[in-house]
Structure 1
Amino acid sequence: MPFAFDETLAPELYPLAWLVGRWRGAGVLDYPGIERRRVAADVVFDHDGGPYLRYESTLRVLDGDVPERIDLGAPDADFALPSDEEVAAGAVWTTETGYWRASTDTLDGLADDQHAIEVLLADASGRLTAFLGWVGGGRVELASQRTIRTSTSPDVSGSRRMLGLVDGRLFWSEDLVAFGQPLQSYSSGQLTRLDAAEPAPGAES
């Protein structure tokens, strides 16, 4: 579905406007100590008129063969949009919610069309992570700044994420520092826009 600019979006969020909507896609989960799996991702970016985007993501394990690789330069048939039936049958692997905001922090090396952003994400497994990064040119890069974990949370101490819009599809990758392992790939895949998320009731029009 083509991107439609939401005129109710707060001006601070214009650099992030292309993310607003509902996305679904498939990818691969692969990390030392975790069996390589095919996964489905459902992601929503929406807002209520405030100077932030609300974010929700659910990752589910799917049956079927696991693709060998992800080509960020071209859509891959192995990552076709999962059906509703596939997603409903998949076991939830992880969920997270959070907020994306414009940042006043100064980041070295940013181009004129790149804007600093901050992201706060809560993982249902017991982890709260603050990210700092940038958006520009249909791309987002984030690096964790601080992670707080409960005593029962998985041993994850750092994260790096990338989103990139290529030919209307949203590619994602996530790297983790976890379980005593150095920073390395954890999940990656591609998302297709399902629709433009509607502003929540009470948003200014």
Structure 2
Amino acid sequence: MLGTWVGRGAGEYPTIEPFEYFEEVEFSHVGKPFLVYGHKTRAADDGRPLHAEAGYLRVPQPGHAELVLAHPSGIAEIELGTYSVGDDAVHLELATTTIGLTPTAKEVTAITRSFSVAGDELSHSLRMAAVGQPLQHHVAALLHRQC
């Protein structure tokens, strides 16, 4: 998973118009038993910044993963899940156990994420329950590792 991944994605949600975006994800390390995670997107139509996240991916024991993230929109989240390795791919499934919101953040009550890495291709999707809506698809992207 190490490296910088770039590509395109698409999003939708009942409270907004569907959209397409460019995405960059970076997994790096500092020599400790976790990966540093950075994520940013910009609109495909005009390049304006859309979203960003930063945090850490931890593997406390084989088959188990923890993702700790902060968003500049005032959201902090802890996600727990599992990972598997097989068929020359890594699959990661995560779901929030805790979401912290600042007083000005939009209400988000649940998030699930799926990552799949096969060779130099990373695909991911995110489901979200927010602003009174039930858990449902929000975004998905296909990224390629930069050389």
The TM-score with structure 2 as length reference comes to 0.93
Map residues 144-159 of structure 1 onto 2, 5 A cutoff: 144-159=96-111
Query: For this pair of structures, how many residues does the alignment match?
Result: 143
- 1:42-75 per-residue CA deviation (whole Å, 9 max, x = no partner) reads 0000011011100100011111xxxxxxxxxxxx
CA distance in 2, matches of 1:165, 1:52: 17
**SS of residue matched to 1:58:** strand
Question: RMSD between aligned alpha carbons?
Answer: 1.3
Greater helix percent: which structure? 1
Amino acid at match of 1:183: L
The CA distance in 1 between the partners of 2:119 and 2:69, in whole Å, is 27
What is the rounded CA distance, in whole Å, between the counterparts of 1:56 and 1:39 in structure 2? 16
Which position in structure 1 is the counterpart of 2:125? 173
User: TM-score normalized by structure 1?
Assistant: 0.67
Residue identity opposite 1:123 in structure 2: H
Structure 1 runs of 4+ with >4 Å offset? none
Instruction: Find out whether 1:102 has 2:59 as its counterpart.
Output: yes
Gaps of 5+ in 2: none
Q: Which aligned pairs between 1:133-148 and structure 2 lie closer than 5 A?
A: 133-137=81-85, 138-148=90-100
SS at match of 1:180: coil
Distance 1:145 1:30 in 2: 23
Q: Counterpart of 2:73 in 1: which secondary structure?
A: coil
Distance 2:44 2:33 in 1: 35
Q: Distance in 1 between matches of 2:97 and 2:69?
A: 12
Q: Which has the larger radius of gyration?
A: 1
Q: Return the structure number with greater strand share.
A: 2
Structure 1 runs not aligned, ≥5 long: 1-18, 64-88, 105-113, 196-205
